[in-house]
């Protein structure tokens, strides 16, 4: 197998899903790919760049939804949550990637577009978009952390259906606030 940026990202996601972000090191990734660690740096300059690339891949359903358009802000948040939930530590990876690159700007722009289509003023849409992004990533991070802790302590956790319902209810509360103060 030829070492490419895509093969590195795919292997990194395999490691992420199996071991979590804390154990997804460049050394482990190189071992998984049967290359020396230095070979990775020809394609990805550092671990932060790798995290950003993984986040881009995790968020591919979000980018597809944005490209299609015609989604409400709540629907985009649901797609974002589902994309993160699909991968172990997905919300942690996305959260770590938000301050770098343009991931935040692209998601915020899509949310603002959806909110202004839903009749929010531009300023209200800007504030609401940031709030929705922070809520979605934060709630998903909390949910994934709680699931891991429950598994580690061998205790029953909150059913996935309840977590999804709580998330949807939180979105509804935020959206109610947006619609009241247009």
| pLDDT tens per residue, range 25-54 | 999 999 999 999 899 999 999 999 999 999
- Is 152 a residue whose pLDDT tops 70? yes
Do 68 and 122 lie in a common domain? Answer: yes
pTM score above 0.75: yes
Whether residue 61 sits in one domain with residue 15: no
Helix/strand/coil (H/E/C) assignment for every residue in the chain: CCCCHHHHHHHHHHHHHHHCHHHCCHHHHHHHHCCCHHHHCCCCCCHHHHHHHHHHHHCHHHHHHHHHCCCCHHHHHHHHHHHHHCCCCHHHHHHHHCCCCCHHHHHHHHHHHHHHHCCCCHHHHHHHHHHHHHHHHHHHHHHHHHHHHHHHCCCCCCCHHHHHHHHHHHHHHHHHHHHHCC
Q: Check whether residue 158 and residue 81 sit in a common domain.
A: yes
Question: Are residue 174 and residue 85 in the same domain, yes or no?
Answer: yes
The domain tally of the chain equals 2
Confidence of residue 180 (pLDDT cuts 50, 70, 90): low
39 shares a domain with 107: no
Confidence of residue 147 (pLDDT cuts 50, 70, 90): confident
Host domain of residue 171: 48-180
Average pLDDT over residues 102-127: 94
What CATH number is attached to the domain comprising 22?
Answer: 1.10.10.60
- Looking at the fold, whether 96 and 145 belong to one and the same domain comes out as yes
Same domain, 25 and 60: no
126 shares a domain with 39: no
CATH number, domain with residue 93: 1.10.357.10
Query: Is the model's pLDDT at 59 over the cut of 90?
Result: yes
Asked if residue 53 and residue 28 are part of one domain, the reply reads no
pLDDT at 1: 64
Do 146 and 61 belong together in one domain? yes
């Amino acid at each position: 197998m030829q070492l490419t940026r895509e093969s590195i990202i795919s292997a990194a996601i395999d490691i992420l899903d199996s071991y979590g972000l804390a154990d997804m090191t460049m050394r482990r990734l190189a071992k998984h790919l049967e290359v020396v660690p230095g070979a990775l740096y020809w394609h990805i300059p550092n671990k932060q760049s790798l995290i950003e690339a993984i986040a881009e891949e995790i968020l591919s359903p979000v980018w597809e939804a944005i490209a299609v358009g015609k989604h409400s802000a709540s629907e985009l948040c649901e797609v974002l949550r589902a994309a993160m939930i699909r991968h172990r530590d997905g919300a942690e990876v996305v959260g770590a990637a938000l301050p770098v690159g343009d991931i935040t700007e692209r998601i915020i722009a899509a949310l603002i577009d959806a909110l202004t289509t839903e009749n929010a003023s531009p300023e209200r849409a800007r504030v609401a978009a940031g709030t929705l992004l922070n809520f979605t990533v934060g709630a998903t991070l909390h949910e994934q952390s709680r699931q891991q802790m429950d598994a580690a302590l061998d205790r029953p956790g909150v059913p996935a259906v309840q977590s999804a319902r709580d998330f949807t209810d939180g979105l509804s509360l935020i959206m109610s606030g947006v619609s009241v103060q247009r």
